[in-house]
A and B are shown apart, each in its own frame.
Chain A
């Protein structure tokens, strides 16, 4: 049984990491060996030229910084706003609740490609085209519906009794939410943060359409620079991708504290 667990985890690790390993290999293979050596697990010679090109010659440090600003801000904004909405959906019975939920759901069903031009017009109106702030607003809006549902299910799982007790003891509803219920929902908050951060981190279409200035580009849009009309610079692209995974790993390493800790504080005892 114990060995079985490790066997399954190894299988997951292999499936997850093998394609990443393959990209790592491509990023380290000198250009002239890329197609000439055939399919081999490791090239006969490795080079760090692609990493040098990405980190020193290109704008990638800027792109990563922009991506980080956009993703972290979006994640925090969405989590706060969705916590409030999820709380309302979980704790109140009110007219129009079904309508709100249906509206949130329908927003997820229409293909993004059909709303790009209209959103562009909205951004032009509020003068936020070609800026990180505009991108953050759009990402926030598009990540909110699912985040609301998610927070709602987590609030549904947290007992109302503790909150009511706190309110009887003189807390306002917001205080009770902040001091009692939110800590109980830490895993959900962690999951929401992680979900929104990565969604914003990897989004390409909006970033490509709404951002023109090099200085405002995020990493997925920046990486498209390697795809020109005539060829793809595979080595540099792979190097950029490998580098982009590192901040995400760090972010998840940080977030997992919330997800794992959860109820260990023992708030429900007694």
Chain B
């Protein structure tokens, strides 16, 4: 009996052991080291570092205007990217699920943007937005969005839309794949049974498809939002945070502080601040997810 109990007690940990080992060694230990940078002031010339405690945290709270600005930009960048990626991704997943002629050829092509390295995505869209090399300024002029064919990326009021459009292009396939797979795991029998009861179309979508896809929807929204908030490459390549910090998000600011100003200590403080905010978001969504999984 006691043997049975230990096995029952230990079994989940056998399944989890490889994951924990990988994550502990290659993610968690480095992460803790990275966090510890926040308490040191790095001196590049002498190559030494001094322990300064919480000094660098007060700098963040007292007088960092770029941080508060980049925080608002992060919110806009994340919300807009996520909203369009998810909406279009769900739409695409549902159409792909229905199937159509030529789907075997078209489907892999639609997934391609997800496989393009992010700096190449940035470069590609820089070309597209530039009136000397790309078609988009003329398209915007033709649509009446712009008066003259100008570079969207050099307009401080709207520049953020440039990287957002590039990010939407990149992220639709992610949601499409995940949501398509989730939709595919719903057995057809459920829909058949429902249609006998006279439930179909939009009602079936609301009462069967959405609730059964909810766990996947929530986990993808949760993780994807965290990734987007941390996703600096496209912005660095396209605008480098400019013009006038109008596309500066916290992640690009961290990159700039660490690798341009070589201030790893303060970059770590900024990272911890971002981590803290993302944790609040994560805990909130995680709670919702737990409710939903126990419900389903």
Contacts and interface: CB of A to CB of B under 8 A. Distances in A.
Chain A's interface size range is: 35 or more
Contact of B128 (A22, A35, A84, A149): A22
B261 to A, nearest CB: 13
Contact of B116 (A82, A148, A191, A245): A245
Interface in A110-168: 110-115, 117-119, 121-122, 137-138, 140-142, 144-146, 148-150, 153-154, 156-158
Contact of B219 (A8, A97, A153, A232): A153
Contact of A84 (B18, B37, B215): B18
A85 B19 contact: yes
A90 to B, nearest CB: 9
Interface string B108-122: 111111111111100
B288 interface: no
B60 interface: no
Contacts of A112: 230
Given A146-B223, A248-B112, 19 more contacts: A8-B91, A8-B95, A22-B124, A87-B15, A103-B23, A106-B31, A110-B34, A110-B35, A111-B230, A113-B258, A113-B267, A114-B271, A121-B30, A144-B19, A173-B11, A191-B180, A241-B124, A252-B112, A259-B184
B177 A115 contact: no
B178 A191 contact: yes
A141 B27 contact: yes
Contacts of A13: 106, 109-110
A262 B184 contact: yes
A43 to B, nearest CB: 12
A148 B293 CA distance: 15
With most chain A CB atoms within 10 A of its CB, the pick from B124, B134, B185, B279 is B185
A81 B22 contact: yes
A109 B274 contact: yes
A138 B180 CA distance: 28
B242 interface: no
Contact of B112 (A20, A87, A142, A188): A20
Q: How would you classify the secondary structure of chain B's contact residues: helix, strand, loop or mixed?
A: helix
B26 interface: yes
B69 interface: no
Interface in A177-200: 184-185, 187-188, 190-191, 194-195, 198
B53 interface: no
With most chain B CB atoms within 10 A of its CB, the pick from A12, A35, A144, A245 is A12
Contacts of A204: 117-119, 233
A16 interface: yes
Given A115-B31, A137-B26, A15 B169 contact: yes
Interface of B: 9, 11-16, 18-20, 22-23, 25-31, 33-35, 37, 88, 91-92, 95, 98, 100, 104, 106-120, 123-125, 127-128, 131-135, 138, 169, 172, 174, 177-178, 180-182, 184-189, 212, 215-216, 219, 222-223, 226-227, 230, 232-233, 251, 254-255, 258-259, 264, 267-268, 271, 274-275, 278-279, 282, 286, 293, 296
Contacts of A85: 15-16, 18-19
Given A111-B254, A269-B189, A202 B92 contact: no
B250 to A, nearest CB: 9
A16 B30 contact: no
A196 B57 CA distance: 36
Given A148-B19, A194-B111, A113 B254 contact: yes
B136 to A, nearest CB: 10
B11 A92 contact: yes
A97 B9 CA distance: 12
A149 B219 contact: yes
A33 interface: no
